[in-house]
Chain A
Amino acid sequence: MKSIKLLMAMALMLSISTCFAEIKNAKVETVHIYGNCSICKKTIESAANVKDIVQVEWNKDTKMAILTYDEKKTNQDEILKRIGLAGYDSDKFLAPDNVYAKLEPCCQYERTGKIVAKIEDVKTVILTVEEKVVTPILTIKIQGEQLKEVFDSYFAVKDALVKTDGNLAATKAASLLNSINAVKMESLTKDEHAEWMKVMKDLVFDAEHISETKDAGHQRDHFTYLSKNMYSVMKVSKQETPTYYQFCPMANKGKGANWLSKENIVKNPYYGSKMMGCGKTVETIN
């Protein structure tokens, strides 16, 4: 009995020593890493670990990771950056959006660390400052800015469809809805206002439908009409940089369909990678 205990103690000591003998100049730290499940755990740890230099243990319940690393060879930032590049936020790094988007559905943790671009805040500041200087040119510029939000959200939907990413298109369409609803009609120019009244209902209808499905095919059907209506608003609204009206003859079951783009290069939102370059610019809207 005694000998067994001794043996066990020895084995334990041995295992401890082998565990720790691996990493020299060891420094141990505990940090918060976002994530959900045991798949997350595997991804996080394999991204972080380096033989004989870094050993990371992540706990999926507490979301805390114990980092053990060779202080002379690496540092916390290097480790957390690797974890970030694998798709997981920490208090120091945010994962790239495209890497996060590729995580398994069960791994799509809530990204509380991410600060949403607060462009609105900045804009209100501009508005209050510029309102004092009332010249017609400036007001037009401010009104252009109003619709700019709508256009920018539209481009985000378009970019998502170029990637054939139904999830992303749905979220972007939801924010498009928000910016459509946020438009203050009284501050539009006469032309903008007239056009806006004509198409607003349809814009809302199509944006809603895109936001409610994850099927890119269905989204693209609505995107055809969304683009057409967006185009008629764009035509009468003055924007800082040109927009390109593009056309793919094969889309919409061979009837052809249009879309708007900030770049004078064709990235087809109706086919994505299947026929990325199909189509051409038919009009430049200045």
Chain B
Amino acid sequence: MRLKSFIVFFKTKAIITVFFLFSTTVFAQKVVRYDLYVKDTLVHFAGKEKRAIAVNGQIPMPTLTFTEGDTAEIHVHNQLKEETSLHWHGLFLPNKEDGVPNLTQMPIRPNTTHIYRFPIIQNGTHWYHSHSGLQEQIGMYGNFVMLKRPNDPSFRKGIDDLPTLPIVLSEWTNLKPENIHRMLHNANDYPALKKNSVQSYGEAISAGHFKTKLLNEWKRMLAMDVSDVYYEKIFMNGKPSSELKSISGNELKGGDKVRLRISNGGASSYFWLTYAGGKITVVANDGNDVEPVEVDRLIIAVSETYDIIVNIPADKTAYEFLATTEDRTNSASIYIGIGIKQLKSSLPRLKYFEGMKMMNDMMKMNGELDDMGMAMSLNQMDMNVVMYPEITGDAKPKQDDNDPNRYNANALGDIVTLNYAMLKSPTITALPKEAPVKELYFKLSGNMNRYVWSLDNKVVSEADKILIKKGENIRIILYNGSMMRHPMHLHGHDFRLLNGQGQNAPLKNIVDVMPMETDTLEFNANIEGDWFFHCHILYHMMSGMGRVLSYENQMPNPLIPNPKLAQRKLFADDRKFHFMAENDFATNGNDGMAMLQNTRWSIGSEWRIGHHVFHGYEIETHIGRYIGRMQWLMPFVGFDWRYRKFGIDEQETNLFGQSNSKDLRSLFTVGVNYTLPLLIIGQAEIYQDGNIRFQLIREDIPITKRLRMSFMLNTDKEYMAGFRYIVNKNMGITSHYDSDMGFGAGITFSY
């Protein structure tokens, strides 16, 4: 990858030896120092020159390596024009070193240096990333490796002494991440178009799934994919494809084993990991050793880490290690060994309509999910298998609807897929028995249509901190009542995931919870502070999917001089309004709308400007608040202004016989929007002059991949129907018929 800025690598290791005069033994404490220079850069990753952030001139950020017992001293020099921060993912450290801006420290201001300093008291594969805004998406991720001391009793021969390569996975998009975030909140289906996953009525009909699509919309669902964002490139260590021919000077040959330390630094992508040279042996997860387990493939959730061992079966051959996005649209490879490249077969395209059918079965009319009596947990049942041709075949699934194994990939397919129940810690991980237990229950909640993600239907800024006491055993039960999977991450602690392995439950700091799954995790509260617990999908986190766990009666954090200000800045993330606008320049007039929306509020204006006064000018403005978890209901207040030249004696009457003859109208209004089955929005409105209006609107019915249909009718005897052909993400060609303005055709610009 070509970076514009010059590559400089700064690393100094300072060894400070401290002598304890009163002790006969000599302690050597090693301070390992890294200097990180964070700087704007231009990259050319996918055909266009785009802004990114490089650290020490590179993307990903440099791999930081320590040995357990060292002290880390990391100097972060912020040379950006904006604030930044670095979070040490999965590390045990004092709260003020955790790197969450406005929670554990104030942001690192431009042109200043911040020093993180903490002892390394654990070992394993971890990573680090920016916790500020959306910087993680554009380059701020890197490996963070902590080695075992050679005399560590947990040192595993044949594992910990293998040649090793750290790999950080990531994605790249040419769109600005702020723009992606905005588009997600506006249910823009452009990413689906790029991924060929629009799932329109036309495509449904030709796949024999018209009823499926109709039922899906009847249940008020928009077409879903397993991921939301379209990425142009996937990287392993910053490259879509690379070769691993030697490790620390030793050439790789047939019979060698290689350990890969893999972190998923992607902002929103899960990856399937597969290998052309045979089985994959999993030896650690989230930086904690597990009993070796052989599998054919595994999925790595956003921000998880896995240590795996792969064999090189023969000489003169390089074997492809492949990371494929969960939606299977893109992948990155690394060829391990020297010689002709043995490929791994790529994962076949998802059977989207089978997925839609599965969702229909699960979704109740009230928007709740129904697991139909299957207690699901630990990724053992993967509902998405109905979409995987390599597990359920190319055509319709042959499993019957009552087969208890119909979502169990390991029972259906001829390959072994890792799930959490297969992870077993080599050591006993039980918590202190005498400690009091505090149980917390969270329902992961969300609304795909409006891209609202929350816990118990509350975002960070709407909920209080959760108080816990030092010494308590905290047990957290998570139920995912939303339609997407969420990788939930706890800062500062490892938790045990209760997975049926008893005393040897694996230690983790991320748990991926699939829709309708319930998972239980527990940890001993042993280090005070304010610790973030959140979904690690960047765009979910920024929408407010998280909580702060706060120790009671803790010492004030010296890096947060003004807690009130810090909190306000922290809350600003999910309170943010997202803007969208659209205008149709048509032969019969000009109509459009602009809208500002956040988690609960919507401020929007719609206008219609005819080409002459008989067609009229009109602008309606509504301020509304979304109610309930599904946000189907929105009461609003508004203001309506209209000018239209009537002829003499001409007047308008609505269906209720109420009439209106004024050329100029300006009226206040109150009303309510409600989303009906088939995603039709019903609107009831009463104006200050007593006039009443009912209206039905449905916009953007997907007819084909690129063709959308809309219609509207109301009790003022107005109606409209139209088509829009999507040219690109900002432009469409439209034609519509409008009761006021007649037939027209034009071009729509949208933002």
Chain A positions near chain B (C-beta within 8 angstroms) = 77, 81, 84-85, 91-96, 98-99, 113, 115-119, 121-122, 159, 162-163, 262-263, 265-267, 272-273, 276-277
Q: Give chain B residues whose Cβ lies under 8 Å from the Cβ of A115.
A: 314-317, 339-340
With contacts A92-B340, A118-B254, A118-B315 known, is A85 near B410, CB below 8 A? Answer: no
Q: Give chain A residues whose Cβ lies under 8 Å from the Cβ of B408.
A: 277
Do B313 and A96 touch across chains, with their CB atoms under 8 A apart? no
Q: Give chain A residues whose Cβ lies under 8 Å from the Cβ of B653.
A: none
Do B294 and A263 touch across chains, with their CB atoms under 8 A apart? yes
Q: Which residue of A lies closest to B292 (CB)?
A: A241
A133: min CB distance to chain B, Å? 17
| CB contact list, B295-324 vs A, under 8 A | 313-317
CA distance A96 to B322 in the complex (A): 12
CA distance A99 to B294 in the complex (A): 23
23 A-B pairs with C-beta separation under 8 A? A77-B241, A81-B341, A84-B341, A85-B343, A91-B340, A93-B340, A94-B317, A95-B343, A96-B276, A96-B343, A115-B314, A115-B316, A115-B340, A117-B314, A118-B254, A118-B315, A162-B414, A163-B414, A263-B294, A265-B410, A266-B411, A267-B414, A267-B416
Do A94 and B341 touch across chains, with their CB atoms under 8 A apart? yes
Do B341 and A92 touch across chains, with their CB atoms under 8 A apart? yes
CA distance A93 to B241 in the complex (A): 14
Q: Give chain B residues whose Cβ lies under 8 Å from the Cβ of A272.
A: 414
Q: Give chain B residues whose Cβ lies under 8 Å from the Cβ of A159.
A: 414
Do B345 and A99 touch across chains, with their CB atoms under 8 A apart? yes
Name B414's contact: one of A96, A117, A119, A273 (CB within 8 Å).
A273
A98: min CB distance to chain B, Å? 6
Do B343 and A117 touch across chains, with their CB atoms under 8 A apart? no
CA distance A163 to B414 in the complex (A): 6
B739 contacts chain A at the CB level, 8 A cutoff: no
CA distance A199 to B297 in the complex (A): 36
Name B's interface SS.
loop
Q: Give chain A residues whose Cβ lies under 8 Å from the Cβ of B315.
A: 115, 118
A141: min CB distance to chain B, Å? 13
Name B341's contact: one of A93, A98, A116 (CB within 8 Å).
A93
Q: Give chain A residues whose Cβ lies under 8 Å from the Cβ of B346.
A: 85
Q: Give chain A residues whose Cβ lies under 8 Å from the Cβ of B254.
A: 117-119, 121-122
Do B340 and A117 touch across chains, with their CB atoms under 8 A apart? no
CA distance A121 to B255 in the complex (A): 10
CA distance A95 to B320 in the complex (A): 11
B702: min CB distance to chain A, Å? 25
Q: Give chain A residues whose Cβ lies under 8 Å from the Cβ of B416.
A: 263, 265, 267
With contacts A115-B317, A118-B254, A122-B255 known, is A98 near B345, CB below 8 A? Answer: yes
User: Scoring B residues 276 to 291 as 1 if CB is less than 8 Å from chain A, else 0, what string do you get?
Assistant: 1000000000000000
A211: min CB distance to chain B, Å? 21
Q: Give chain B residues whose Cβ lies under 8 Å from the Cβ of A263.
A: 294, 416
CA distance A30 to B342 in the complex (A): 21
User: Scoring B residues 434 to 452 as 1 if CB is less than 8 Å from chain A, else 0, what string do you get?
Assistant: 0000000000000000000
B307: min CB distance to chain A, Å? 18
CA distance A34 to B345 in the complex (A): 18
Q: Give chain A residues whose Cβ lies under 8 Å from the Cβ of B341.
A: 81, 84, 92-94
Q: Give chain A residues whose Cβ lies under 8 Å from the Cβ of B410.
A: 265, 267, 277
A160: min CB distance to chain B, Å? 10
Q: Which residue of A lies closest to B346 (CB)?
A: A85
B413 contacts chain A at the CB level, 8 A cutoff: yes
Seed contacts A122-B255, A263-B416; 7 additional CB < 8 Å A-B pairs: A81-B343, A84-B343, A118-B314, A118-B315, A267-B410, A276-B413, A277-B408
Do B411 and A117 touch across chains, with their CB atoms under 8 A apart? no
Q: Give chain B residues whose Cβ lies under 8 Å from the Cβ of A116.
A: 314
Most buried by B among A94, A98, A113: A94
B412 contacts chain A at the CB level, 8 A cutoff: yes
A259: min CB distance to chain B, Å? 14
User: Scoring B residues 718 to 743 as 1 if CB is less than 8 Å from chain A, else 0, what string do you get?
Assistant: 00000000000000000000000000
A152: min CB distance to chain B, Å? 11
CA distance A100 to B632 in the complex (A): 51
Q: Give chain B residues whose Cβ lies under 8 Å from the Cβ of A262.
A: 294
With contacts A85-B345, A85-B346, A262-B294 known, is A276 near B412, CB below 8 A? Answer: yes
CA distance A91 to B341 in the complex (A): 9
CA distance A96 to B255 in the complex (A): 20
B246 contacts chain A at the CB level, 8 A cutoff: no
| CB contact list, B354-412 vs A, under 8 A | 393, 405, 408, 410-412
B536: min CB distance to chain A, Å? 29
Q: Give chain B residues whose Cβ lies under 8 Å from the Cβ of A93.
A: 340-343
CA distance A117 to B339 in the complex (A): 13
User: Scoring B residues 246 to 282 as 1 if CB is less than 8 Å from chain A, else 0, what string do you get?
Assistant: 0000000011000000000000000000001000000
Q: Give chain A residues whose Cβ lies under 8 Å from the Cβ of B313.
A: 117, 119
CA distance A3 to B165 in the complex (A): 70
B245 contacts chain A at the CB level, 8 A cutoff: no
Name B340's contact: one of A113, A122, A273 (CB within 8 Å).
A113
Name B411's contact: one of A84, A122, A277 (CB within 8 Å).
A277
A65: min CB distance to chain B, Å? 17
Q: Give chain A residues whose Cβ lies under 8 Å from the Cβ of B413.
A: 276
Q: Give chain A residues whose Cβ lies under 8 Å from the Cβ of B343.
A: 81, 84-85, 93-96
Do A276 and B411 touch across chains, with their CB atoms under 8 A apart? yes
CA distance A115 to B253 in the complex (A): 13
Q: Give chain A residues whose Cβ lies under 8 Å from the Cβ of B345.
A: 85, 96, 98-99
Q: Which residue of B lies closest to A94 (CB)?
A: B342
Q: Which residue of B lies closest to A87 (CB)?
A: B345
Q: Give chain B residues whose Cβ lies under 8 Å from the Cβ of A121.
A: 254
A116: min CB distance to chain B, Å? 7
B344 contacts chain A at the CB level, 8 A cutoff: yes
Q: Which residue of B lies closest to A96 (CB)?
A: B345
User: Scoring B residues 583 to 605 as 1 if CB is less than 8 Å from chain A, else 0, what string do you get?
Assistant: 00000000000000000000000
Do A277 and B314 touch across chains, with their CB atoms under 8 A apart? no
B279: min CB distance to chain A, Å? 8
Do A276 and B317 touch across chains, with their CB atoms under 8 A apart? no
CA distance A113 to B343 in the complex (A): 13
A155: min CB distance to chain B, Å? 11
Name B412's contact: one of A77, A163, A277 (CB within 8 Å).
A277
CA distance A272 to B411 in the complex (A): 10
CA distance A119 to B276 in the complex (A): 17
CA distance A163 to B393 in the complex (A): 12
B81: min CB distance to chain A, Å? 33
Q: Give chain B residues whose Cβ lies under 8 Å from the Cβ of A163.
A: 414
CA distance A129 to B67 in the complex (A): 33
CA distance A94 to B276 in the complex (A): 10
Q: Which residue of B lies closest to A100 (CB)?
A: B345
With contacts A115-B317, A117-B254 known, is A276 near B414, CB below 8 A? Answer: yes
CA distance A163 to B316 in the complex (A): 29
CA distance A277 to B276 in the complex (A): 25
CA distance A19 to B567 in the complex (A): 65
Q: Which residue of B lies closest to A274 (CB)?
A: B398
CA distance A117 to B341 in the complex (A): 14
B573: min CB distance to chain A, Å? 40
User: Scoring B residues 322 to 349 as 1 if CB is less than 8 Å from chain A, else 0, what string do you get?
Assistant: 0000000000000000011111111000
Q: Give chain A residues whose Cβ lies under 8 Å from the Cβ of B294.
A: 262-263
What 6 A-B pairs are tightest by C-beta distance, nearest first? A277-B411, A96-B345, A122-B255, A117-B313, A117-B314, A94-B342
Do B344 and A96 touch across chains, with their CB atoms under 8 A apart? yes
CA distance A266 to B410 in the complex (A): 8
Q: Give chain B residues whose Cβ lies under 8 Å from the Cβ of A95.
A: 343
Q: Give chain A residues whose Cβ lies under 8 Å from the Cβ of B276.
A: 96
CA distance A119 to B344 in the complex (A): 21
A77: min CB distance to chain B, Å? 8
A169: min CB distance to chain B, Å? 13
CA distance A172 to B411 in the complex (A): 24
Q: Which residue of A lies closest to B313 (CB)?
A: A117
CA distance A119 to B311 in the complex (A): 11
Do B317 and A119 touch across chains, with their CB atoms under 8 A apart? no
B346: min CB distance to chain A, Å? 6
| CB contact list, B574-589 vs A, under 8 A | none
